[in-house]
């Protein structure tokens, strides 16, 4: 391979761009810097890397703000993680970054910079303007500095793009050894942004850089998908929340599901939920939780049929009419419609004996409360696994029947049944509950 055939590219910063102010013609400023004597002239296939700060300034995204936190609040759509005063949030542009991208550096004291309203549109405007001003067809990347999960330090990422292939999908190809590439999608626009940052710097007054030699990443027709395509959707984001935020959201998402799809339930997910359940507090250092997992349709049918027969017998003994009995029995259909059932039980091994009924009743209640705490952990963990659930009390009314059908020891007390599966429909909006309505302070 000759030297001319060795893959490579060149990157350089554009000097001469003055301090940008609201209303400045950014295309004019860049074009003047790019055509300065002694610099390579922009050419078709080049990629222009533009720091978002000068785009924000030109577009008037400078905010008089003595309270940066208030500005962050206004730009925040969703809090991802919070540690003290540091917030990682999703902003109105869909980006997840510290402080919503609100920046108090490189701007006048008493002001903050917001990110461009639509960074992709900003990139398209710069590209079109340079095509008109200089007659060149270049790609444009608008970049901003961001941290990354699992990695120390900051780097520039693409928040806006035009005329650039932002993602290079290599899936379906093979590597040098013939192995199939099944998950490789390269974030090309982010790599370009990071390359430009190496020559722009953070405090050198060089907000624009040019990359040459990578013409294959420039879209020959149209502006491409834009950097918005780099934002991972919620359905494929495995790390959408920080730890404490994930716990709070799982608690919030824990809703009673009344209708399930036929999608099978991963037994491993249920066992992970059981592992969370048995971390609940319990009296006397005991472990009173047991979970009977009904993974076969035959086991579920046998239990539910026996419980239905026992329920009907009880209702007849109460003098209920056939119509009333049929209506009540239909309420149990939520269990029959679920592809997976769990029967949580409490085993009061280790309970203390007391000579009087008062303390004996309190001792039993301690174990029942511990059972409820374990079940709550279980339901919240299922929500974290993206599984819906419904905790139904029916097994508590026919414990002998449940023990007989499932072959459980006499001292196992079934604490209802939990239907598990994928929700067939989105839950209805639930009115917010104010914590103060449930608090008494003394």
Domains of the chain, by residue range, sit at 8-61+116-236, 243-438
pLDDT at 441: 95
- Helical (H) or strand (E) element with 86: strand 86-91
What is the β-pairing status of strands 412-414 and 111-113?
unpaired
Question: Residues 411-424: pLDDT tens digits?
Answer: 999 999 999 999 99
CA distances to 222, 250, 267, 423 from 378, in Å: 51, 11, 14, 17
pTM, rounded to two decimals: 0.67
Take residue 156 and report the two structure tokens written for it.
């520039």
pLDDT at 28: 96
- pLDDT confidence bin for 126, thresholds 50/70/90: very high
Residue 338 has φ and ψ, to the nearest 5°, of -90, 140
Q: Between 243 and 20, name the one with better pLDDT.
A: 20
Is the pLDDT at 141 greater than 90? The verdict is yes
- pLDDT confidence bin for 427, thresholds 50/70/90: confident
pLDDT at 241: 74
What is the β-pairing status of strands 47-51 and 139-148?
parallel
Pick 8-61+116-236's CATH classification: 3.90.1150.10, 3.10.20.30, 1.10.230.10, 3.30.1330.100.
Answer: 3.30.1330.100
| For range 213-227, the mean pLDDT | 89
Q: Between 299 and 107, name the one with better pLDDT.
A: 299
Sheet-wide strand order for 86-91: 76-83, 86-91, 96-98
**Cα-only R_g, the chain:** 31
Q: Which residues of 150-174 are buried (b: 16+ CB within 10 A; e: fewer)?
A: eeeeebbbbbbbbbbbbbeeeeeee
CB 344 within 8 A of CB 418: yes
Take residue 415 and report the two structure tokens written for it.
């604490």
Q: Which residues pair with 289 in a beta bridge?
A: 346
pLDDT at 177: 74
- pLDDT confidence bin for 3, thresholds 50/70/90: low
Q: Which residues pair with 412 in a beta bridge?
A: 347
Is the pLDDT at 104 greater than 90? The verdict is no
Least confident of 73-77, 82-86, 376-380: 82-86
* SS3 at position 6: coil
Domain 243-438: give its CATH code.
3.40.109.10
CA distances to 251, 274, 387 from 264, in Å: 23, 18, 11
Take residue 253 and report the two structure tokens written for it.
């998402």
Chain CA centroid to CA 99, Å: 17
pLDDT at 69: 85
Chain CA centroid to CA 433, Å: 24
């Amino acid at each position: 391979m000759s030297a001319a055939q060795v893959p490579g590219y060149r990157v350089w910063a554009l000097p001469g761009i003055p301090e940008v102010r609201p209303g400045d013609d950014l295309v004019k400023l860049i074009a003047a810097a790019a055509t300065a004597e002694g610099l390579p002239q922009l050419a078709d296939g080049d990629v222009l890397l533009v720091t978002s700060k000068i785009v924000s300034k030109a577009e008037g995204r400078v905010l008089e703000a003595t309270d940066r936190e208030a500005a962050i609040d206004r730009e925040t759509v969703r809090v991802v993680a919070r540690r003290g005063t540091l917030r990682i949030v999703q902003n109105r542009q869909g980006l997840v970054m510290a402080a919503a991208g609100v920046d108090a550096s490189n701007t006048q004291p008493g002001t903050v910079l917001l990110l461009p309203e639509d960074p992709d549109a900003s990139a398209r405007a710069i590209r079109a303007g340079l095509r008109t001003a200089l007659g060149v067809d270049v790609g444009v990347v608008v970049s901003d500095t961001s941290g990354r999960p699992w990695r120390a330090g900051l780097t520039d990422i693409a928040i806006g793009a035009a005329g650039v292939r932002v993602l290079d999908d290599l899936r379906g190809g093979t590597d040098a050894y013939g192995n199939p590439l099944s998950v490789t999608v390269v974030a090309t626009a982010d790599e370009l942004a990071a390359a430009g940052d190496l020559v722009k710097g953070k405090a050198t007054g060089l907000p624009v850089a040019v990359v040459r030699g990578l013409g294959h990443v420039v879209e020959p027709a149209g502006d491409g998908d834009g950097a918005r395509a780099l934002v991972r959707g919620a359905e494929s984001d495995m790390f959408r929340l920080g730890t404490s935020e994930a716990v709070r959201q799982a608690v919030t998402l824990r809703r009673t599901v009344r209708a399930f799809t036929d999608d099978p339930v991963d037994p491993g997910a249920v066992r992970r939920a059981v592992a969370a359940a048995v971390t609940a507090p319990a009296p006397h250092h005991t472990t009173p939780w047991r979970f009977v997992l009904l993974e076969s349709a035959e086991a579920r049918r046998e239990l539910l049929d026996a419980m239905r027969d026992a329920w009907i017998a009880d209702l007849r003994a109460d003098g209920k009419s056939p119509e009333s009995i049929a209506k009540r029995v239909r309420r149990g259909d939520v269990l029959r419609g679920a592809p997976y059932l769990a029967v949580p039980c409490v085993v009061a091994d280790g309970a203390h004996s007391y000579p009087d009924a008062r303390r004996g009743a309190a001792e039993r209640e301690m174990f029942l409360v511990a059972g409820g705490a374990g079940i709550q952990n279980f339901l919240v963990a299922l929500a974290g696994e993206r599984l819906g659930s419904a905790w139904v009390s029916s097994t508590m009314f026919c414990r002998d029947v449940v023990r007989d059908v499932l072959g459980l020891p006499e001292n196992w007390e079934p604490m209802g049944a939990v239907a598990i599966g994928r929700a067939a429909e989105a839950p209805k909006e639930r009115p917010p509950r104010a914590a103060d309505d449930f608090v008494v302070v003394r």
